[in-house]
């Protein structure tokens, strides 16, 4: 039985190879298209959950550290890879309660906020919803894909940056500062926290606040992994206290040295279980 001329396959190796390449390219393009659609769907769901949570449509989410665990629909979306849990605000109820006390005690409503370490943008979206007139800047060493869209869905300015890079921090501060509120929720490595404080505290307006989260990270905790460096914050706290009361400084240590470098800009120091907060006096204040 003969095969019609038009239905015959390639009769030469080079013709077969060319046909194979065409089919392979077509399959690759189809795969890329499916992957793009899947990523767009993931980003859309993450953005929807993040912005609606920030707007307070699901206030109960702020009562638990992992709000999706009590919601079967959200848990299913995460299980199937449609939703990334990083889209939720990552701050614990205790931390949120601390911010509520801190922010209500400021002299004025923040007009400019910088947060370092934004993960999926849950907290930055929350600050923007809380203070819609404020400029909110979020910096992370590796921005999630849904935070790279321009303009962002939540009105926040998201920037790539490593907090251990002082030049990059200075560039961001000069361009977007001065700030009324700076939050360090980045690597939690002591050296990074200290360097960031030295760099950014001068860029906080007098009467503003500078917050360092997870100052306890360098202290061993159940299930804690990673090297966060030495715990300098007890010495730092004591040295700032002595500076404020004009008492003798404790013996020299990295914490005392850091306090000596920045204490002239500190009006108040607030110490809590997981966090230190500084209310600024301004770079030219005496001390």
pLDDT in tens, 51-80: 877 776 445 555 666 666 777 877 887 787
Return the higher-pLDDT residue of 6 and 86: 86
Q: Which of 30-34, 94-98, 275-279 has the highest mean pLDDT?
A: 275-279
Q: Which two tokens mark 161?
A: 């940056």
The pTM of the full predicted model, rounded to 2 decimals, is 0.78
Q: Residue 14 and residue 19: Cα distance in Å, rounded?
A: 9
Q: Where are the domains of the chain?
A: 13-87, 93-280
* Spatial CA neighbour of 127 closest among 86, 167, 181, 71: 181
- Taking residues 234-263, report their average pLDDT: 92
- Taking residues 3-17, report their average pLDDT: 61
Between 39-53, 146-160, 199-213, 215-229, the lowest mean confidence (pLDDT) is in 215-229
Return the higher-pLDDT residue of 37 and 192: 192
pLDDT for residue 276 is more than 90: yes
Whole-number pLDDT of residue 34:
74
**Three-class SS state of 150:** coil
**Three-class SS state of 253:** coil
Q: Give CA separation, 62 vs 53, 129, 226, 284, in Å.
A: 9, 14, 27, 39
pLDDT for residue 137 is more than 90: yes
Q: What share of the chain has pLDDT > 90, as a percent? A: 44
Q: How confident is the model at residue 185 (pLDDT cuts 50, 70, 90)?
A: very high
Q: How confident is the model at residue 287 (pLDDT cuts 50, 70, 90)?
A: very low
Whole-number pLDDT of residue 218:
58
Whole-number pLDDT of residue 258:
96
Whole-number pLDDT of residue 232:
93
- Taking residues 272-284, report their average pLDDT: 83
- Taking residues 244-260, report their average pLDDT: 91
- Taking residues 227-239, report their average pLDDT: 90
CA dihedral sign of residues 100, 105, 111, 115: negative
Whole-number pLDDT of residue 184:
97
93-280: CATH number: 3.40.50.150
Whole-number pLDDT of residue 63:
64
Whole-number pLDDT of residue 79:
81
């Amino acid at each position: 039985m003969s095969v019609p001329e038009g239905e015959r396959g390639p009769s030469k190796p080079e013709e077969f190879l060319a046909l194979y390449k065409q089919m392979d390219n077509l399959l690759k393009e189809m795969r890329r298209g499916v992957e793009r659609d899947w990523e767009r769907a993931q980003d859309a769901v993450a953005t929807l959950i993040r912005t609606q949570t920030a707007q307070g449509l699901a206030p109960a989410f702020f009562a638990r550290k992992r709000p999706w665990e009590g919601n079967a629909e959200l848990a299913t979306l995460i299980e199937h890879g449609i939703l990334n849990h990083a889209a939720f605000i990552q701050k614990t109820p205790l931390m949120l309660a601390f911010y509520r006390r801190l922010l209500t005690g400021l002299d004025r409503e923040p007009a400019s906020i910088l947060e370092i370490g934004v993960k999926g943008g849950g907290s930055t979206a929350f600050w923007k919803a809380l203070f819609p007139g404020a400029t909110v800047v979020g910096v992370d060493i590796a921005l999630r894909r849904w935070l790279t869209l321009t303009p962002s869905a939540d009105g926040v300015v998201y920037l790539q940056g490593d907090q251990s890079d002082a030049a990059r921090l200075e560039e961001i501060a000069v361009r977007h500062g001065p700030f009324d509120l700076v939050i360090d929720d980045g690597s939690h490595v002591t050296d990074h926290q200290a360097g960031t404080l030295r760099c950014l505290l001068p860029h906080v307006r007098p009467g503003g606040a500078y917050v360092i989260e997870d100052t306890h990270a360098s202290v061993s905790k159940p299930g804690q992994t990673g090297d966060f460096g030495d715990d300098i914050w007890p010495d730092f706290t004591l040295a700032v206290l002595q500076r404020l009361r004009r008492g003798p400084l404790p013996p020299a240590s990295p914490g005392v040295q850091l306090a000596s470098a920045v204490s002239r800009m500190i009006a108040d120091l607030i110490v809590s279980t997981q966090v230190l907060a500084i209310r600024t006096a301004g770079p030219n204040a005496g001390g």
